[in-house]
Structure 1
């Protein structure tokens, strides 16, 4: 299939979850490169501030308050893009939220609400955008996770939703290819990213959650997403850790299971759980403190992966896979 993707400077891009984290970093970089943006999230005040920031720096940005769990909001998002800029070239389904806690401790209604955002938000956005993109081509980019390939304890519902996003995205891609539809469909799978992810997650643990290392800056994910907006890619892992965990979980699943103790330990802080205004049903708390530890500003793996450096990439994957296996074996020996 031949895709004709425009330069970012010539594109109209829709981004959900655009007021913080990966979405905000992507919006800033896309605006810097001249793209015209339609930004969406539930928090109108924060979103308006982002749009104003981008316009003040010389960019073009329109803010649309929207809940991705409602199909009609996606329809309104598309219509706003068409009314404002006359087209959509790339649609980025980025909005997401998580829940920390043992699966048995998380109410089913909360798990269903998480799926409304993480899974149905992607489904609605994909269906609405593809109906438009199939007419003239473009890119659909769904933001999954390293847990699209390998589930983690204490985030069971989140892992399940990202597995579902992967299955949906892969099936949609194949169906469009069989029809010859010129829409590039990419699944982006980030490792831990230094955002307000933990602060906005609902928490059923007795302590505050944290991200397991290594943690990457949101700009690393933004660069990968915008690369996919210009270059057709099936999937992109953000961070060598994401690639290693995905391959490790697929090739040595039982050994990967034995990383559970390490993963539980590194998702729990020593800070007692606080009262929080999480983002499961309403916009999250933009003021709560977040401790990320060391944050990696670049990923050599992702840089190579998006530049087609095959031999170097294969060598890097081998090193990462061996390192992950040794780490799992060490974790398995711990009580």
Structure 2
């Protein structure tokens, strides 16, 4: 089916932003809301290109079911470039051009966009890795200690049964948990994470919480986060953290992230924290689940024995897993 590209510009806090809507001819105007049905979400893709200057949302409408989403190839190149930087610290235009079988001009444009997002620093002939924090881009945090996060996710997945109604937050570890849950039947997932929602959209009933889009974590955040919980609370909730404390509970660095997770956690019978052991000594400001509501912590073998003892004294079970590379 022929397609048209509708370019619209809107003003947002004094900055120019661009919305690209990829749609078939005579398609109806899209309506994007906090709660997306499974069929619609399966055809919806958000992709950030240049957040410092503009945002791009690429939408494949229901009339394009089964079609290729515009920008997918570019996104996969970006992820591979970031992975190479994480391993080798430096990439060259010539090597990337050969690897992807595209022109050096296209590679330079990719590197320019990634630099605008502060994910790398361009140098003569290529780019080098830049330092980033835990509050940095989702793509980079997804690569950080990936095998450990996958091991934690596999352990957490054992708690989820067919037909459960659960909550997942926007953390990268919960994204890996979502990967593990794609074969569950009849699952209902309430989440503020757009990446997890996209991943589960074709296999589960997904409810988005609503709120304000935070592009660094691809999450919906803020005090206005809301969602309907009918027929009782959610069975279990799984949350990533900035830090944990046997006195203050689960904590976040961002007040907006903390507010969204607080509302989501309040709707769950059981709350589990999923995190790697580096979070034990991190600085954080905003508690979002108190100690007496935490059902368990799932972390890796690096979580210190003395900290495990402190949590055990608070009557919270700690599960430590060992990361084993998966084929």
TM-score by length of 2: 0.28
User: Greater Rg, structure 1 or structure 2?
Assistant: 2
Indicate the structure with greater helix content. 1
Indicate the structure with greater strand content. 2
